[in-house]
């Protein structure tokens, strides 16, 4: 196994980053273990932030916001800091990737090639976005000029999941601070490691202390305290649908603005007229990259009946050839699941599949690598879209296959889901592609391509896959207050009362 290249030593206890310093409570009562999913061994300790620690972080964010040196800084000054953050992330990319892999089990090639690059890109994107976006001016009325300004909202509470910690958390952090907000970030308690160097990077790039604060701990303790804090103005959450409901309710109670990016059970439709070579490649990538633990995974593979057998032969052969192993090794394509609980959950779905009469075409059991939370890449042929393996998000290397007769049926099965995050369509027909774009009830439709994220465009889900969007203008909408300013254009007589 390649040795991790860790310039950042993992401290004995990982606390909170408040106002530019690491702080940990004196009491060890709420310490939590940080586990290595590859070995199942403990690799660190998290000092959980309680409500007081969360309040201290929110207070630091509020003070910095009120000081105005970031919230009212010229756009070019903010842009310069964001670009320096990007540069420092690239300089420390290997260390960030190693920590991401150590804590999540994501194969190192994917951490290097996808996650860290995307995280650095998030800062670059918002640096460019704020320097190029302009506000509107309405001059149609002959008496008035009316300007629209976008001002930062205040303090943002940002809650991120464990499956792509750096990429997803930095999308929120970069968006929040680019528009002048301060923030408090709460990553998943399972994956605190890459945020150790990230906080240093923000500091070294010249971001004023208190603009970004970080609290670590469990959702129902630390996350809940953050969302409920009265001084948090806006909440951005990525995570599971059940948690999203709680967050939405709590934010609604405090009349806070909120966006939730939640789960998915995305259809990957392969028509008989598709380029099957590309569709096979994409089905493997969409189902199994990131160890299958991604919200936008193509987990319902819908195959047109006339090509189903041929496609499945090729797909299954490729899935069986996936290299399951230690994520630090560059040859590994599938690493361990995040936790013992997740391994149990995914194993449980293999049991459910068997009980419901689905046919396990490959996999279906934990993979024995002498420890850790490994699960075999799994494909099941479902009997109908009503089966739980077609309806519920499994969040592991687990693809359910269904067949369809014609495109009407494919669209109907794809839309028959409580989720609506993304959909994939493989077809040689422009007419079918356009129908898919019209009729699929999902936030993103990928036609003849997998997993492309355009940061300028909105990203988010229909139905129970979330409320709201991020990306470009949509992030600006979330993280700013729009203000209308009207100015008379000439000295006309104003309306008067009691004249």
Write down the least CB distance from residue 157 to ligand NDP, Å. 9
Which range, of 188-196, 204-212, 351-359, 376-384, touches ligand NDP by CB under 6 A?
188-196
33 touches ligand NDP (CB under 6 A) = no
Which class for 445: exposed (0-12), middle (13-18), buried (19 or more C-beta within 10 A)?
A: middle
295 assigned to active site: yes
- Beta-strand ranges (E) seen in 100-217 are 137-138, 144-152, 155-159, 182-186, 212-214
219 touches ligand NDP (CB under 6 A) = yes
Residue at token pair 């506000």: 135
Which range, of 157-165, 284-292, 311-319, 376-384, touches ligand NDP by CB under 6 A?
157-165
70 touches ligand NDP (CB under 6 A) = no
Write down the least CB distance from residue 239 to ligand NDP, Å. 3
Measured from the CB atom, is 304 or 442 closer to ligand NDP?
A: 442
Rounded to whole angstroms, the Cα distance separating 285 from 264 reads 16
Q: What torsion, rounded to 10 degrees, do the Cα atoms 240, 246, 251, 253 define?
A: 170
Write down the least CB distance from residue 466 to ligand NDP, Å. 6
32 touches ligand NDP (CB under 6 A) = no
Among the listed residues 183, 271, 295, 390, the single catalytic one is 295
Q: Which of 20, 25, 40, 240 binds ligand NDP (CB under 6 A)?
A: 240
Which range, of 91-99, 158-166, 316-324, 361-369, touches ligand NDP by CB under 6 A?
158-166
Measured from the CB atom, is 81 or 296 closer to ligand NDP?
A: 296
236 touches ligand NDP (CB under 6 A) = no
The interface mask with ligand NDP, positions 416-455, x = CB under 6 A, is -----x----------------------------------
Phi, psi angles (nearest 5°) of residue 122: -60, -40
**Contact (Cβ atoms closer than 8 angstroms) between residue 326 and residue 25:** no
CB count within 10 Å of CB 336 equals 29
CB count within 10 Å of CB 467 equals 18
**Tokens linked to 262:** 């939640």
Q: Which of 169, 227, 282, 413 binds ligand NDP (CB under 6 A)?
A: 227
Rounded to whole angstroms, the Cα distance separating 341 from 329 reads 24
Among the listed residues 124, 261, 393, 403, the single catalytic one is 261
**Contact (Cβ atoms closer than 8 angstroms) between residue 88 and residue 201:** yes
Measured from the CB atom, is 208 or 460 closer to ligand NDP?
A: 460
Rounded to whole angstroms, the Cα distance separating 198 from 157 reads 17
- Beta-strand ranges (E) seen in 305-432 are 359-362, 378-381, 398-404, 419-420, 422-426
215 touches ligand NDP (CB under 6 A) = no
Write down the least CB distance from residue 224 to ligand NDP, Å. 4
Which range, of 58-66, 101-109, 142-150, 180-188, touches ligand NDP by CB under 6 A?
180-188
46 touches ligand NDP (CB under 6 A) = no
**Contact (Cβ atoms closer than 8 angstroms) between residue 356 and residue 391:** no
Q: Which of 11, 33, 113, 220 binds ligand NDP (CB under 6 A)?
A: 220
**Contact (Cβ atoms closer than 8 angstroms) between residue 154 and residue 62:** yes
Angle in degrees, CA 216, 97, 57, rounded to 5: 20
The interface mask with ligand NDP, positions 377-396, x = CB under 6 A, is ----------------x-x-
128 assigned to active site: no
Rounded to whole angstroms, the Cα distance separating 210 from 65 reads 8
Handedness of CA 226, 228, 231, 233 (dihedral sign): positive
364 touches ligand NDP (CB under 6 A) = no
261 touches ligand NDP (CB under 6 A) = yes
Residues 457-486 within binding reach of ligand NDP (CB under 6 A): 461, 466
User: At a CB cut-off of 8 Å and minimum separation 6, what does 494 contact?
Assistant: none
333 touches ligand NDP (CB under 6 A) = no
Sites of contact with ligand NDP (CB under 6 A): 159-163, 168, 186-190, 218-220, 223-224, 227, 238-240, 243, 246-247, 261-264, 295, 393, 395, 421, 461, 466
The residues annotated as belonging to the active site are 261, 295
């Amino acid at each position: 196994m390649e040795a991790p290249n860790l310039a950042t030593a993992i401290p004995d206890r990982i606390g909170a980053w408040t106002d530019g310093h690491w702080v940990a409570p004196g009491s060890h009562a709420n310490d939590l273990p940080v586990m290595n999913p590859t070995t199942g061994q403990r690799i660190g300790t998290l000092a959980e932030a309680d409500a007081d620690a969360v309040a201290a972080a929110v207070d630091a964010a509020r003070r910095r916001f009120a000081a105005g040196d970031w919230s009212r800084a010229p756009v070019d000054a903010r842009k310069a800091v964001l670009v320096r953050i990007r540069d420092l992330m690239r300089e420390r990319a290997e260390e960030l990737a190693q920590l991401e892999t150590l804590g999540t089990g994501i194969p190192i090639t994917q951490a290097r090639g996808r996650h860290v690059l995307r995280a650095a890109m998030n800062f670059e994107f918002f640096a460019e976005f704020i320097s190029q976006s302009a506000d509107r001016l309405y001059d149609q009325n002959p008496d008035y000029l009316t300007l629209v300004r976008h001002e930062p909202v205040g303090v943002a509470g940002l809650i991120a999941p464990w499956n792509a910690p750096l990429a997803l958390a930095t999308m929120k952090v970069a968006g929040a601070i680019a528009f002048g907000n301060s923030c408090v970030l709460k990553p998943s308690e399972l994956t605190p490691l890459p945020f150790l160097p990230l906080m240093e990077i923000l500091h070294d790039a010249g971001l004023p202390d208190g603009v970004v604060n970080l609290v670590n701990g469990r959702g129902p303790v630390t996350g809940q305290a953050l969302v409920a804090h009265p001084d948090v103005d806006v909440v951005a959450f990525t995570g599971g649908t059940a948690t999203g409901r709680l967050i939405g309710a709590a934010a609604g109670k405090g009349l806070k603005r909120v966006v939730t990016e939640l789960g998915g059970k995305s259809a990957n439709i392969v028509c008989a007229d598709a380029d099957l070579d590309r569709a096979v490649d994409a089905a493997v990538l969409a189902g199994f990259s990131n160890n299958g633990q991604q919200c936008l995974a193509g987990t319902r593979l819908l195959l047109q009946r006339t090509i189903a057998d041929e496609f499945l032969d090729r797909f299954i052969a490729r899935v069986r050839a996936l290299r399951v192993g230690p994520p630090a090794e560059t040859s590994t394509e599938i690493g361990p699941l995040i936790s013992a609980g997740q391994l149990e959950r995914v194993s449980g779905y293999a049991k459910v599949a068997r009980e419901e009469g689905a046919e396990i075409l490959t996999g279906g059991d934990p993979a024995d690598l002498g420890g850790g939370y490994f699960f075999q890449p799994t494909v099941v042929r479902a009997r109908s879209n009503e089966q739980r393996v077609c309806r519920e998000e499994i969040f592991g290397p687990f693809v359910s296959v269904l067949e369809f007769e014609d495109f009407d049926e494919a669209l109907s099965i794809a839309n028959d889901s409580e989720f609506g995050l993304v959909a994939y369509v493989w077809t040689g027909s422009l007419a079918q592609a356009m129908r898919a774009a019209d009729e699929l009830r999902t936030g993103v439709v990928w036609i003849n391509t997998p997993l492309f994220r355009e940061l300028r465009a909105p990203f988010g889900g229909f139905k129970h896959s979330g409320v709201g969007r991020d990306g470009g203008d949509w992030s600006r909408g979330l993280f700013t207050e729009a203000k209308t300013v009207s100015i008379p254009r000439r000295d006309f007589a104003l309306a008067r009362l009691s004249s």
